[in-house]
Amino acid sequence: MKIMTILAGITLAAGIAGQAVAQGPGAMTPEQREARFAAADKNADKKLDKAEWLSVLPEEAKAMADQIWESRVDADGDGFITKDQFLALRMGPPRGGN
Ligand SMILES: [Ca+2]
């Protein structure tokens, strides 16, 4: 029961984050996503730590930041997200086979 509630919360927060990242109708272009990554990468080491990622996380997603970071962003648990990982982030349904 508790687990289900937590999972539902993660899904909800991820959806909110996805909507905010998309910023209204139409997803961000790859150029916009790269610009966001560059803006977040304060120390220019080409990867984001959690604090840097938090700096570009939409306000409405911050309540679930820990869950989103651990479950979807830093899925390999190394404490960083690379540019490739950032650009590949999809807050919506898992990618299909194409
Ligand atoms: Ca960095």
The Å distance, Cα 46 to ligand 1 centre, comes to: 6
**pTM score of the predicted model:** 0.63
User: Which residues, at least 6 apart from 51, have a Cβ–Cβ distance to it below 8 Å?
Assistant: none
Q: Closest Cα partner for 9 from 51, 90, 66, 93? A: 66
Nearby residues for ligand 1 (ion, Cβ within 5 Å): 41, 43, 45, 52
Average pLDDT on 65-93 reads 86
Q: How far apart are CA 41 and CA 60, in angstroms?
A: 21
Could you tell me which residues are beta bridge partners of residue 82? 47
Q: Using CA atoms of 83, 84, 88, 89 in order, give the dihedral in degrees to the nearest 10.
A: -40
Q: How far apart are CA 93 and CA 52, in angstroms?
A: 25
- Every domain of the chain and the residues it spans: 2-88
Residue range 7-60, pLDDT digits in tens: 676 666 666 565 555 444 457 888 999 999 999 999 999 999 999 999 999 899
The Å distance, Cα 78 to ligand 1 centre, comes to: 13
CATH architecture of 2-88: Orthogonal Bundle (1.10)
The Å distance, Cα 61 to ligand 1 centre, comes to: 21
pLDDT value at residue 46: 96
